[in-house]
Amino acid sequence: MPNQESILQAQNVHFRYDPEQPKYAVDGVTLDIRRGEFVAVLGANGCGKSTLAKHFNAILLPEAGTVLVEGMDTRNEDHLYDVRQKVGMVFQNPDNQIVATIVEEDVAFAPENLGVPPEEIRTRIDEAMKLAGIYEKRDAAPYKLSGGQKQRVAIAGVIAMRPDCLVLDESTAMLDPHGRAQVMKTIHQLRAAGITIVSITHYMEEAAQADRVLVMSRGRIVMEGTPEQVFSQTEKLHSYHLDVPQAAELRDELVKAGIPMPENVITPEACAEELFKLLK
């Protein structure tokens, strides 16, 4: 469960890909992610959400402002290894993240590079593969797996480093509905194991499952709150070129048609329950 201890902090972070251009990809972001939280970050293409995510494990460094990972400044090179170990990243295309020809060898890649002793590696990768729900496929060749399975191999590879926080950058974008559901299930398992999750996504239904939702536009955080708070502001979300989950859209349209519905209905389950009360 989330507590008050910060794990990731961004203070007035600015970043430009080209210092000669006036446009900032991240334009003054301040945020605080607490240990154990599941935070979803939404925003249209080009809003800066992936750029921000890359700051969380020092792939990118802020031009101005600071990023702290468990209190360590990412600009301090002495902390680089610690930062990378604390915060693991999973990207969009699983094919770009797999290096070995056998699943468990791929999962062992990072701990081997960290110089973890062999017997400890065995324990860690078994644990990571179980947590990611890919243990049954440990002897398989990655190219024979489905997209959702490959993505879970990538997640297991990161988990084997025993990070405190996992940042997923549109990790479900290339998956089919079944693969997405598998990855979401894994995310919930990791969260139950105490790992902090930051998930960047285009899928509103996924964001609806988070503890907290951040919305970015033009390099800034423009909305923040529980999924219920964020997804009850349909008009505002549309102005940032985002949708609400269909259940929330239906609630809105019913209210417009003069049918009373409470504000915080954002999931199909809640929507069906409210409608049942109305119609039974």
Partner 1 sequence: MSEIIRVENLSYIYNLGMPDATKALDDVSFTVEEGDFVGIIGSTGSGKSTLISHFNGLNRPTSGRVLVDGKDLWEQGADLRSFRFLVGLVMQYPEYQLFEETCAKDIAYGPRNMGLDEAEIQRRIKEAAAFVGLSDELLEKSPFELSGGQKRRVAIAGVMAMHPRVLVLDEPAAGLDPEGRDTILSQIKDYHKKTGITVLLVSHSMEDIAKYANRVLVMHRAKIAMYDTVENVFARAQELLELGLSVPQVTQIFLKLRQMGLDIPADVYTIPYAVKTIQKALAAKQAGEVQ
Binding site for partner 1 (CB under 8 A): 44-46, 92, 146-147, 170, 173-174, 176-179, 181, 202, 204-205, 241-243, 245-247, 249-250, 253-254, 257, 259, 268-269, 271-272, 275-276, 278-280
For partner 1, give the closer residue by CB, 120 or 176: 176
Which one, 99 or 272, has the nearer CB to partner 1? 272
- Side chain identity, residue 120: E
Residue 230 beta carbon to partner 1: minimum distance, rounded to whole angstroms: 14
Instruction: Write down the least CB distance from residue 40 to partner 1, Å.
Output: 14
Nearer of residues 13 and 247 to partner 1, judged by Cβ: 247
Complex with partner 1: residue 27 or 274, whichever CB lies closer:
274
Q: What is the DSSP string of 66-82?
A: EEEETTEETT-GGGHHH
Residue 44 or residue 80: which is nearer to partner 1 going by CB?
A: 44
CB-nearer residue toward partner 1: 5 or 176: 176
Rounded to a whole number of angstroms, the distance between the first and last alpha carbons of the chain is 37
Nearer to partner 1, 46 or 71 (CB): 46
Q: Please give the Cα distance from 190 to 197 (Å, whole number).
A: 8
CB of 174 to partner 1, least distance (A): 6
Cβ at position 67, least distance to partner 1 in Å: 25
Shortest CB 232 distance to partner 1, Å:
16
DSSP per residue, the chain: ---S-EEEEEEEEEE-SSTTSS--SEEEEEEEEETT-EEEEE--TTSSHHHHHTTTTTSS--SEEEEEETTEETT-GGGHHHHHHHEEEE-S-GGGT--SSSHHHHHHHHHHHTT--HHHHHHHHHHHHHHTT-GGGTTS-GGGS-HHHHHHHHHHHHHTT--SEEEEESTTTTS-HHHHHHHHHHHHHHHHTT-EEEEE-S-HHHHTTSSEEEEEETTEEEEEE-HHHHHT-HHHHHHTT----HHHHHHHHHHHTT----TT--SHHHHHHHHHHHH-
CB of 76 to partner 1, least distance (A): 34
